[in-house]
Chains A and B, each alone.
Chain A
Amino acid sequence: MKTHSPAPLGLVAAIALTLGFAVPASAQHHDHAHHRATTDAPTQDAHAHHDHAAMSQAEPATASTAPREPIPAITPEDLAAAFPDIDHHAMQHAPAFNHKVTFNRLEAWDADEGTGQAWEGSAWFGTDTDRLWLRSEGERMGGHTESADLEVLYGRSVSPWWEVMAGIRHDFKPGNARTWAAFGVQGMAPYRFEVSATAYVSDDGQVAANVEAEYTLRITNRLILQPLVEVDIAADDDPDYGIGRGVTGIEAGLRLRYEISRRFAPYVGVVHERALGDTADLRRLEGESVRDTRVVAGVRLWF
């Protein structure tokens, strides 16, 4: 613990200034002042280079205008106090790693075929620019899981609004489970559309893509309309899964939620789903419906 005492220093410096730097350093007998930066020639001791550096740095300005308040000379004590040996981990930081888990849709409906439930959620873990993403979507009808998938992706921010994604997707249903490699982008498009587009290559060679766009339309600050559109595309016929090449299907949803809190919002909505192109034809052959409109109720929550 040392006491910094600039007052005598300042006084000495002020005297020196008043005398126009004419006082030799040796005449200013003060234990702190024997190598002052503001005096003439640097002395030859170990600290001289510090003083000299400080002096030359200030020189362009001081040559014409010296500081009104002189700069105190540096003492060894000053240096020791200024750069103590410290543990640089002593500074604690807010966590660089954060996470968020969102259930965007947790909903149920009542239809002719029975009751159904669906979920769609995502979670991220990581920093501002590098994140591990989990995404999952699925549907149950009459107590059976009709479809369910889980994606595990690494997302890296490549611009303020876009993140490139790479990872795997596993389909538990429909049909036999299969695994896909996934590549895509997600982010916020102008006008604040939340967009994700992902291409998939399956372990059995199928190539597919999914594009999703979502918007938040505030009717009031708590009553929020959320339109959503999702399009599925397949590169090849995939009869085992009832898929024909081209645009296979489209889903459009309109959900109206009320944010009781930011984290918890019940909603009602209407969802329209239809199969398109060859996929629709395959469905018709199977005697299945190619379009479906349902009224859903659910909650959106995050933590």
Chain B
Amino acid sequence: MKYDDSTPGRLGAFRPTRRQFVTGLATGGAALGLGLARAPASAGTPARRGGAALVTGTEFALDIGAMPVDITGRTRPAITVNDSLPAPTLRWREGDTVTVRVRNRLRDMTSIHWHGILLPSNMDGVPGLSFNGIAPGETFQYRFQLKQSGTYWYHSHSLFQEQAGLYGALIVDPREPAPYHYDREHVVLLSDWTDLDPAALYRRTKKMPEHDNYYQRTLVDFVRDARRDGLAETIADRGMWGRMRMTPTDISDINAHTYTYLVNGAAPAGNWTGLFKPGEKVLLRFINGSAMSYFDVRIPGLKMTVVAADGQYIHPVSVDEFRIAVAETFDVLVEPMGQDAFTIFAQDMGRTGYARGTLAVRDGLAAPIPSRDPRPLLTMADMAHDMGGHGAHKGMEGGCGAMMGEGGCGANMGAMDHGAHGATSNAPNHPASEAGNPLVDMQSSASEPKLDDPGIGLRDNGRQVLTYGAMHSLFEDPDGREPGRTVELHLTGHMEKFAWSFDGIPFASAEPLRLKYGERMRMVLVNDTMMQHPIHLHGVWSDLEDADGGFHLRKHTIDMPPGTRRSYRVRADALGRWAFHCHLLYHMEAGMMREVRIEA
């Protein structure tokens, strides 16, 4: 096993002695921060393009600072850790107690949250819940014992700092050998970069949420569709969306019109390259450290065997492609051979751009970059406005704005749908707080887990695409108890206001969700919006259930496509106040967050 991206070693060894301008990412300049520049070529390879320093051990010092970077050809301010963007890759070991001293050289408060790591709540790094944050000039010492292994990541939990660059990969090596063999490994940390000040981007999004949607249906599309599908049908289709005041092209809020997508900090032109020798088994640790971007990842010419999700082993699944939600991680085995170079192609879910890297036998090689897939359109079925059922279509044409939350009309939809769907229906019981709520522009009428659905834009594309249904934890339910109670929460929002919440109640006015220490409860999420949301609960695992309510897949982040209802088990074995939120950064900041309080 080789870590040829840089040199393992104590942090002190590569601590920068002077500020250095982080540059050249757009064109693929090699070193990012001094870590790489100083790395002796012990692994026999030059520094990779992009990538972050690797630090191992039990004692770490991280310096959070501001620094100019050049990702797109323009020099912009960024937040770096030890002068590196992304932050250094930390390599820990299961069972070890690690100490991380985080020093804040910014003018603002900061924090680091260890995403998916089980730890005491005062080490979790969420200002206002776990601790007071790290003040400018201060050093905060994190110290906790590792109870798990796998691929994770860490990031700031303070305002928009994560978007500005404060994120990095985290690997916890297992005490026991992994249940699979590999010869070499690479971290593939995907992220989104903007030259804008992230706070300004938030303000812009509040003013005009559809700013980046240059894909709305036009008169030109109307004429084309009318020729293809007939005028009546096209008018009916436009009418349906028009009555809802929605557009089927809202796949993502912010896309490549604003973002440059990165692999290990390198823009597509920078072509981050991970080396292999033909015949080697290579473990790729994919991490989506984006603020707002889902990626659909494939390596043309290679089958990928997914062996872990969110750091936890699964029964191996062989796929051609996977969608990685924000904050998820997937460990993937590949056996590159027969070609000198393979492209790692990660197009954004809205098909507006891509992140790209290369697996190659030596530096400087490249393989063809596939063209982006056609841009998908949301359908009524995506939003669980089932058009196929008896009477459901009629419902859509109802005068009350279909399923829209106009003056409580939507609140009746559960009952209305009841007849249409029968016993298999999961007609949701919408919370009273959604009815007539100005911040809730839509409710789904009948939602299902859809665990076997590859998702919008990935269906029937001729490739084998990973689904939640195809992933099973390699272990049995570690808790084993049936949940003692069920809590149902609805993901809600208003597209035009860019307002996001649970049950129509934004974080600022929401009460904490209280769990009893030791209890096993079932969380049911229903997505009442047309966007996809990765929902992350700090402190404890989210054990996704299969369609029958059985233990299926241990995760820390549960992806919630539009129109889904998914349930997971929570074992409340960590006392304290934990954040529970959508991991789309701007959705969280706009209110899609709750405190979960696990009390004795």
Contact = CB atoms under 8 A, between A and B. Distances in A.
Interface of A: 1-7, 37, 47, 50-51, 53-55, 57-58, 60-62, 65-69, 71-72, 74, 78-79, 81-84, 86-96, 98-100, 128-129, 157-161, 188, 190-192, 217-222, 262, 302
Contacts of A6: 145, 147
A101 to B, nearest CB: 9
A47 B576 CA distance: 16
B217 to A, nearest CB: 7
Given A65-B481, A192-B245, 9 more contacts: A3-B97, A37-B518, A57-B517, A88-B128, A90-B131, A94-B159, A128-B499, A157-B439, A192-B242
Describe A's contact surface by its main secondary structure: loop
Interface stretch (B25-33, B203-211, B365-373): B203-211
Contacts of B589: 93-94
A87 B132 contact: yes
B479 A67 contact: yes
Contact of B438 (A3, A57, A86, A159): A159
B300 interface: no
B499 A60 contact: no
Given A83-B577, A92-B159, A128-B438, A302 B207 contact: yes
5 contacts: A4-B145, A57-B519, A83-B576, A157-B439, A158-B438
A87 B109 CA distance: 13
Contacts of A88: 128
A159 B219 CA distance: 30
Contact of A161 (B144, B202, B245, B519): B245
A94 B200 CA distance: 11
B484 interface: yes
A91 B575 contact: no
A222 B214 contact: yes
Nearest to A50: B600
Interface in B461-493: 476-484
Contacts of B553: none
B42 interface: no
B549 interface: no
In this complex, the member of A5, A65, A93 whose beta carbon has the largest number of chain B beta carbons within 10 angstroms is A93
B590 interface: yes
Contacts of A89: 128
B541 to A, nearest CB: 11
A160 B219 contact: no
B218 interface: yes
In this complex, the member of A160, A192, A222 whose beta carbon has the largest number of chain B beta carbons within 10 angstroms is A160
B600 A53 contact: yes
B293 to A, nearest CB: 19
Nearest to A83: B576
B348 to A, nearest CB: 18
B207 A58 contact: no
B480 A68 contact: yes
A78 B599 CA distance: 11
Interface string B130-161: 11110000000101110100000000001110
In this complex, the member of A3, A82, A219 whose beta carbon has the largest number of chain B beta carbons within 10 angstroms is A82
Nearest to A129: B438
Contacts of B121: 81-83
B304 interface: no
A94 B590 contact: yes
Contacts of A66: 481
B518 A57 contact: yes
A117 B158 CA distance: 47
Nearest to A217: B219
Contact of A90 (B133, B436, B506, B575): B133
Contacts of A159: 405-407, 436, 438
Interface in B403-462: 404-407, 436-441
B220 A61 contact: no
Nearest to A261: B211
B100 to A, nearest CB: 11
Interface in B240-268: 242-245
Nearest to A190: B243
Contacts of A190: 242-245, 401
A83 B130 CA distance: 8
A3 B520 contact: no
Nearest to B478: A69
Nearest to B135: A90
Contacts of B144: 3-4
In the A-B complex, the 5 residue pairs with the closest CB atoms? A91-B128, A82-B575, A157-B438, A82-B576, A94-B589
Contacts of A84: 122, 130-131
A92 B211 CA distance: 25
A160 B440 contact: yes
Contact of B127 (A2, A92, A129): A92
Nearest to B438: A157
B531 interface: no
A86 B132 contact: yes
A189 B20 CA distance: 55
B278 interface: no
A86 B128 CA distance: 7
B302 interface: no
B220 A220 contact: yes
B437 A160 contact: yes
Given A65-B480, A161-B245, A262 B438 contact: no
A94 B291 CA distance: 15
B215 interface: yes
Given A87-B132, A220-B220, A54 B438 contact: no
Nearest to B210: A262
B577 A98 contact: no
Contact of A1 (B141, B243, B439): B141
Nearest to A163: B438
Nearest to A56: B516
Given A91-B127, A160-B494, A190-B242, A74 B517 contact: yes
A221 B218 CA distance: 7
A4 B219 CA distance: 62
B571 interface: yes
Interface in B203-245: 203, 206-208, 211, 214-220, 239, 242-245
B363 interface: no
B128 A55 contact: no
B196 interface: no
A221 B478 CA distance: 52
B119 interface: yes
Interface string B151-176: 00000001110000000000000000
B120 interface: yes
A219 B438 contact: no
B294 to A, nearest CB: 21
B119 A4 contact: yes
A220 B222 CA distance: 11
B481 A79 contact: no
Nearest to A303: B207
B574 to A, nearest CB: 8
Contacts of A58: 481, 484, 516, 518-520
Contacts of A218: 216-219
B496 A188 contact: yes
A110 B143 CA distance: 74
Given A58-B516, A94-B589, A302 B575 contact: no
